[in-house]
Amino acid sequence: MLPLDSRTALVVDDVQKGILAMPPKEVADQLVEANVTLADAFHAAGLPVVWVHATGLPPGRVERPIPEDDELPEWFADLDGRLPAREGDLHIDKPRTISAFSRTDLAEKLRAEAVTQVVFTGIAMGAGVEASARSAFDEDFTVTVVSDAVVDGDPERQRASLGHDIPSVGGLATVAEVVADLAKR
Protein backbone atom coordinates (compact mmCIF):
# COMPACT_ATOMS: atom_id res chain seq x y z
CA MET A 1 0.00 0.00 0.00
CA LEU A 2 1.19 3.48 -0.73
CA PRO A 3 3.37 5.18 0.27
CA LEU A 4 6.24 2.95 -0.75
CA ASP A 5 9.50 3.03 1.12
CA SER A 6 13.11 2.00 0.61
CA ARG A 7 12.26 -1.58 1.59
CA THR A 8 9.84 -2.22 -1.29
CA ALA A 9 10.24 -4.75 -4.11
CA LEU A 10 8.37 -5.18 -7.37
CA VAL A 11 7.28 -8.77 -8.07
CA VAL A 12 6.28 -9.43 -11.69
CA ASP A 13 4.38 -12.71 -11.77
CA ASP A 14 4.39 -14.89 -14.92
CA VAL A 15 4.80 -12.15 -17.55
CA GLN A 16 6.51 -14.65 -19.80
CA LYS A 17 6.22 -15.79 -23.39
CA GLY A 18 4.16 -18.92 -22.79
CA ILE A 19 1.53 -17.21 -20.67
CA LEU A 20 1.47 -13.93 -22.63
CA ALA A 21 0.47 -16.00 -25.66
CA MET A 22 -2.87 -16.76 -23.98
CA PRO A 23 -4.68 -13.36 -23.82
CA PRO A 24 -5.43 -11.27 -26.92
CA LYS A 25 -2.30 -9.55 -28.27
CA GLU A 26 -3.49 -6.03 -27.39
CA VAL A 27 -4.12 -7.11 -23.78
CA ALA A 28 -0.70 -8.77 -23.57
CA ASP A 29 0.97 -5.68 -25.08
CA GLN A 30 -0.71 -3.36 -22.54
CA LEU A 31 0.38 -5.66 -19.70
CA VAL A 32 3.98 -5.68 -20.94
CA GLU A 33 3.97 -1.88 -21.35
CA ALA A 34 2.69 -1.36 -17.79
CA ASN A 35 5.32 -3.73 -16.40
CA VAL A 36 8.12 -2.05 -18.38
CA THR A 37 7.07 1.31 -16.88
CA LEU A 38 7.03 -0.11 -13.35
CA ALA A 39 10.30 -2.05 -13.65
CA ASP A 40 12.04 1.04 -15.07
CA ALA A 41 10.73 3.12 -12.13
CA PHE A 42 11.86 0.55 -9.56
CA HIS A 43 15.28 0.27 -11.21
CA ALA A 44 15.63 4.08 -11.24
CA ALA A 45 14.75 4.16 -7.52
CA GLY A 46 17.34 1.46 -6.78
CA LEU A 47 14.69 -0.96 -5.53
CA PRO A 48 14.60 -4.72 -6.14
CA VAL A 49 12.75 -6.22 -9.08
CA VAL A 50 11.72 -9.87 -9.03
CA TRP A 51 10.79 -11.77 -12.20
CA VAL A 52 8.70 -14.87 -11.47
CA HIS A 53 8.80 -17.64 -14.07
CA ALA A 54 6.15 -20.37 -14.08
CA THR A 55 8.27 -23.38 -15.06
CA GLY A 56 5.38 -25.80 -14.95
CA LEU A 57 1.80 -25.93 -13.90
CA PRO A 58 0.49 -27.38 -10.64
CA PRO A 59 -0.32 -31.07 -10.71
CA GLY A 60 -3.64 -32.39 -9.61
CA ARG A 61 -7.08 -33.01 -10.92
CA VAL A 62 -9.00 -29.93 -11.95
CA GLU A 63 -12.18 -29.33 -13.91
CA ARG A 64 -10.36 -27.18 -16.46
CA PRO A 65 -7.51 -29.33 -17.80
CA ILE A 66 -4.11 -27.70 -18.06
CA PRO A 67 -1.13 -28.87 -20.11
CA GLU A 68 1.39 -31.21 -18.53
CA ASP A 69 4.97 -29.93 -18.23
CA ASP A 70 6.16 -32.06 -21.15
CA GLU A 71 3.47 -30.47 -23.34
CA LEU A 72 4.78 -26.93 -22.75
CA PRO A 73 7.08 -25.36 -25.36
CA GLU A 74 10.76 -25.01 -24.44
CA TRP A 75 10.44 -21.19 -24.38
CA PHE A 76 7.34 -21.21 -22.12
CA ALA A 77 9.09 -19.65 -19.07
CA ASP A 78 11.24 -17.13 -20.98
CA LEU A 79 10.55 -13.48 -20.20
CA ASP A 80 9.11 -11.36 -22.96
CA GLY A 81 12.07 -9.61 -24.61
CA ARG A 82 10.57 -6.15 -24.08
CA LEU A 83 10.84 -6.47 -20.30
CA PRO A 84 13.81 -4.60 -18.83
CA ALA A 85 15.35 -7.40 -16.78
CA ARG A 86 18.76 -6.34 -15.49
CA GLU A 87 21.72 -8.02 -13.93
CA GLY A 88 21.06 -8.09 -10.20
CA ASP A 89 17.31 -8.59 -10.54
CA LEU A 90 15.97 -11.69 -8.82
CA HIS A 91 14.55 -14.53 -10.90
CA ILE A 92 12.28 -17.05 -9.17
CA ASP A 93 11.16 -20.25 -10.83
CA LYS A 94 7.74 -21.43 -9.68
CA PRO A 95 7.98 -25.22 -9.81
CA ARG A 96 4.43 -26.47 -10.39
CA THR A 97 2.86 -24.02 -7.94
CA ILE A 98 0.44 -21.12 -8.26
CA SER A 99 2.02 -18.85 -5.61
CA ALA A 100 5.52 -17.47 -6.15
CA PHE A 101 6.16 -18.21 -2.46
CA SER A 102 5.17 -21.91 -2.48
CA ARG A 103 8.15 -24.26 -2.66
CA THR A 104 10.52 -21.36 -3.49
CA ASP A 105 12.95 -19.25 -1.49
CA LEU A 106 11.32 -15.95 -2.48
CA ALA A 107 10.46 -14.91 1.11
CA GLU A 108 14.03 -15.57 2.25
CA LYS A 109 15.52 -13.69 -0.70
CA LEU A 110 13.26 -10.69 -0.05
CA ARG A 111 14.17 -10.68 3.63
CA ALA A 112 17.87 -10.86 2.71
CA GLU A 113 17.28 -7.61 0.77
CA ALA A 114 15.53 -6.12 3.87
CA VAL A 115 12.25 -5.95 1.91
CA THR A 116 9.09 -5.47 3.98
CA GLN A 117 6.69 -4.29 1.25
CA VAL A 118 5.86 -6.05 -2.04
CA VAL A 119 4.18 -4.59 -5.13
CA PHE A 120 2.61 -7.24 -7.38
CA THR A 121 1.85 -7.22 -11.09
CA GLY A 122 1.33 -9.95 -13.64
CA ILE A 123 -0.90 -12.62 -15.02
CA ALA A 124 -3.35 -14.26 -13.98
CA MET A 125 -4.80 -11.89 -11.40
CA GLY A 126 -7.30 -14.28 -9.83
CA ALA A 127 -4.82 -17.16 -9.72
CA GLY A 128 -1.04 -16.64 -9.55
CA VAL A 129 -1.00 -12.95 -8.62
CA GLU A 130 -3.66 -13.33 -5.94
CA ALA A 131 -2.07 -16.52 -4.57
CA SER A 132 1.30 -14.77 -4.38
CA ALA A 133 -0.22 -11.71 -2.70
CA ARG A 134 -1.96 -13.89 -0.10
CA SER A 135 1.28 -15.78 0.55
CA ALA A 136 3.20 -12.52 0.92
CA PHE A 137 0.64 -11.32 3.45
CA ASP A 138 1.04 -14.62 5.35
CA GLU A 139 4.81 -14.00 5.33
CA ASP A 140 4.31 -10.55 6.97
CA PHE A 141 4.97 -8.42 3.91
CA THR A 142 2.86 -5.34 3.21
CA VAL A 143 1.07 -6.02 -0.09
CA THR A 144 0.08 -3.73 -2.95
CA VAL A 145 -1.36 -4.94 -6.26
CA VAL A 146 -1.12 -2.64 -9.27
CA SER A 147 -4.64 -2.85 -10.68
CA ASP A 148 -3.77 -1.75 -14.22
CA ALA A 149 -0.66 -3.94 -14.47
CA VAL A 150 -2.48 -7.26 -14.04
CA VAL A 151 -4.70 -9.31 -16.30
CA ASP A 152 -6.77 -12.45 -16.01
CA GLY A 153 -8.29 -14.57 -18.73
CA ASP A 154 -11.57 -14.38 -16.82
CA PRO A 155 -12.64 -10.72 -16.37
CA GLU A 156 -15.15 -11.64 -13.63
CA ARG A 157 -12.45 -13.43 -11.64
CA GLN A 158 -10.21 -10.38 -11.99
CA ARG A 159 -12.98 -8.03 -10.80
CA ALA A 160 -13.72 -10.27 -7.82
CA SER A 161 -10.06 -10.58 -6.92
CA LEU A 162 -9.36 -6.85 -7.12
CA GLY A 163 -12.69 -5.80 -5.63
CA HIS A 164 -13.07 -8.29 -2.82
CA ASP A 165 -10.05 -10.49 -2.20
CA ILE A 166 -6.98 -8.26 -2.45
CA PRO A 167 -8.35 -5.58 -0.07
CA SER A 168 -8.39 -8.28 2.64
CA VAL A 169 -4.62 -8.82 2.34
CA GLY A 170 -3.34 -5.46 1.12
CA GLY A 171 -4.10 -2.50 -1.06
CA LEU A 172 -4.45 -1.40 -4.65
CA ALA A 173 -2.67 1.26 -6.67
CA THR A 174 -2.34 2.20 -10.34
CA VAL A 175 0.83 2.33 -12.42
CA ALA A 176 0.67 6.16 -12.37
CA GLU A 177 0.29 6.22 -8.57
CA VAL A 178 3.23 3.87 -8.03
CA VAL A 179 5.48 5.76 -10.44
CA ALA A 180 4.54 9.11 -8.85
CA ASP A 181 5.19 7.72 -5.37
CA LEU A 182 8.61 6.38 -6.40
CA ALA A 183 9.49 9.73 -7.99
CA LYS A 184 9.08 11.42 -4.58
CA ARG A 185 11.95 9.37 -3.15
Q: Which domains, from first to last, does the chain contain? A: 8-57+76-183 (3.40.50.850)
According to the model, what pLDDT value does residue 185 have?
Answer: 77
The pair phi, psi for residue 2, each rounded to 5°, is -75, 150
49-85 confidence digits (pLDDT tens): 999 998 876 666 666 656 666 777 888 889 999 999 9
Give the sheet arrangement for strand 117-123, strand by strand.
90-94, 49-54, 8-13, 117-123, 142-151, 171-173
According to the model, what pLDDT value does residue 2 have?
Answer: 85
Across 90-100, average pLDDT: 91
- Average per-residue pLDDT in the chain? 92
According to the model, what pLDDT value does residue 125 have?
Answer: 86
According to the model, what pLDDT value does residue 67 have?
Answer: 65
Tell me: pLDDT of 145 over 90: yes
- For the entire predicted model, the pTM comes to 0.93
* Percent of the residues in the chain that have a pLDDT greater than 70, as a whole number: 92
According to the model, what pLDDT value does residue 124 have?
Answer: 87
DSSP state of 79: B
17-57 confidence digits (pLDDT tens): 988 888 889 999 999 999 999 999 999 999 999 999 988 76
Beta carbons within 8 Å of 141's beta carbon, 6+ residues apart? 107, 110, 115, 116, 117, 118
Which residues lie across from 12 on neighbouring strands?
A: 51, 121
DSSP state of 78: P
Task: In whole angstroms, give the CA distance from residue 136 to residue 110.
Answer: 10
